[in-house]
């Protein structure tokens, strides 16, 4: 397929930095891809030439392990991941397994759509795993949180956005997207939260989030990689508080999420870079210089 736009995700930084085990090397990163089909394999009926599609992180699963068989293909024992263990979308063209590709509306803004393929999808999965609590905290207000804040507000929840200390721009941005409160991740929220999702790869946020949730509250870690979680007093986990991680996505998550996108009227904030400036986009993400999501355009 021909790549029209590819989002830059924090996971790409972990791939480039060698922080994830057993990558395919050399590797073409990128797993938030919007493009158009320019060739289909013999016997592929589901997709047609010219069709607009999205390619996510989940590149392939085995279909046979216990996880694939019980509806948890996100945990497959023998998966392939786009831009990590098979080549991804930092490219003009790429090959995808048609069974794991999402059909997208034929018309649409390719750049604005790209971040939905991971920040949106993983964000959606983490939101579901957080449960249906009314007061939800989002730690790390980057690409995923700016999408999920909109979904949560559309669902009628109250969003509390936590950013790096002193990041006034991100805190103001969160409020423009409907957050009821925004502040530093070191601050306590004005009232106890029902649940919290941590999007930043920072283990020290786990005890902070545990302190912010009420009894029975849940803290969801949505990243693929996190710095070590510091030890903390049992007291802040006590009273049936929970910590849970979110891994990957299922195709079912995608089917659900792409139905919600138009209903929730999700608008993504993007900064586009030509493909030749991919390293600059990665550096800007690393240094927290982005508002919203970086997207490469070949």
Within 179-269, strands assigned E span 181-184, 193-198, 213-221, 242-245
* Identified binder of Zn ion from the candidate list 56, 59, 61, 91, rule CB under 5 A: 61
Residue 6 host element (H or E):
strand 2-8
Q: Binding of Zn ion at residue 65 (CB under 5 A)?
A: yes
State which residue, 123 or 189, has the beta carbon closest to Zn ion.
Answer: 123
Q: CA-CA distance, 163 to 183, in Å (whole number)?
A: 6
Whole-number minimum distance, CB 290 to Zn ion, in Å?
Answer: 14
Q: CA-CA distance, 204 to 96, in Å (whole number)?
A: 37
CB 224 within 8 A of CB 20: yes
Long-range contacts of 14-19 (CB under 8 A, 24+ apart): 14/201, 14/224, 14/225, 15/83, 15/84, 16/282, 19/225
Give the x/- contact pattern for Zn ion in 8-47, rule: CB under 5 A. Answer: -x-x------------------------------------
Sign of CA pseudo-dihedral 196, 199, 203, 204: negative
Whole-number minimum distance, CB 93 to Zn ion, in Å?
Answer: 21
Q: Which stretch binds Zn ion (CB under 5 A): 65-73, 85-93, 180-188, 246-254?
A: 65-73
Which residues are CB-contacts of 264 (< 8 A; sequence separation ≥ 6)?
150, 151, 154, 155
Residues numbered 69-88 forming contacts with Zn ion, rule: CB under 5 A? 76
State which residue, 217 or 292, has the beta carbon closest to Zn ion.
Answer: 292
State which residue, 151 or 212, has the beta carbon closest to Zn ion.
Answer: 151
Whole-number minimum distance, CB 68 to Zn ion, in Å?
Answer: 3
Residues numbered 175-214 forming contacts with Zn ion, rule: CB under 5 A? none
Q: Binding of Zn ion at residue 60 (CB under 5 A)?
A: no
* Identified binder of Zn ion from the candidate list 40, 62, 237, 297, rule CB under 5 A: 62
Which residues are CB-contacts of 70 (< 8 A; sequence separation ≥ 6)?
none
Helix (H, G, I), strand (E, B), or coil: what is residue 30?
Answer: coil
Whole-number minimum distance, CB 47 to Zn ion, in Å?
Answer: 23
Whole-number minimum distance, CB 162 to Zn ion, in Å?
Answer: 20
Give the x/- contact pattern for Zn ion in 112-151, rule: CB under 5 A. Answer: ------x---------------------------------
Burial call 133-143: b when 16+ CB within 10 Å, e when fewer: bebbbbbbbbb
Q: Respond yes or no on whether the N-terminal peptide bond of residue 26 is cis (omega within 30° of 0).
A: yes
Whole-number minimum distance, CB 108 to Zn ion, in Å?
Answer: 20
Could you list the residues that contact Zn ion (CB under 5 A)? 9, 11, 61-62, 65, 68, 76, 118
């Amino acid at each position: 397929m021909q790549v029209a736009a590819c989002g830059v995700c924090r996971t790409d930084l972990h791939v480039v930095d060698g922080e994830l085990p057993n990558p395919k090397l050399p590797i073409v990163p990128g797993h938030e891809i919007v493009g158009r089909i320019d060739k289909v394999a013999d016997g592929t009926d589901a997709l047609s030439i010219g069709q607009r599609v999205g390619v996510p992180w989940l590149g392939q699963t085995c279909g046979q392990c216990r996880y694939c068989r019980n509806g948890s293909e996100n945990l497959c024992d023998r998966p392939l991941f786009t831009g990590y263990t098979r080549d991804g979308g930092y490219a003009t063209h790429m090959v995808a397994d048609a069974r794991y590709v999402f059909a997208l509306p034929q018309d649409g803004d390719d750049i604005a759509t790209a971040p939905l393929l991971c920040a949106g999808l993983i964000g959606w999965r983490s939101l579901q795993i957080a449960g249906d609590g009314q007061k939800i905290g989002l730690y790390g207000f980057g690409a995923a949180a700016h999408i999920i804040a909109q979904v949560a507000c559309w669902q009628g929840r109250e969003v509390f956005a936590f950013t790096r200390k002193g990041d006034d721009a991100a805190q103001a941005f969160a409020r423009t997207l409907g957050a009821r409160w925004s502040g530093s991740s070191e601050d306590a929220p004005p009232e106890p939260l029902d649940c919290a999702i941590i999007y930043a790869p920072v283990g020290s946020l786990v005890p902070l989030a545990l302190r912010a949730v009420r009894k029975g509250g849940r803290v969801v870690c949505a990243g693929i990689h996190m710095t070590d979680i510091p030890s903390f007093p049992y007291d802040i986990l006590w009273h049936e508080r929970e910590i849970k991680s979110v891994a990957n996505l299922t195709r079912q998550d995608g089917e659900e999420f792409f139905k919600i996108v138009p209903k929730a009227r999700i608008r993504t904030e993007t900064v586009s870079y030509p493909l030749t400036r991919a390293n600059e986009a990665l550096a800007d993400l690393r240094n927290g210089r982005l508002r919203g999501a970086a997207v490469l355009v070949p």
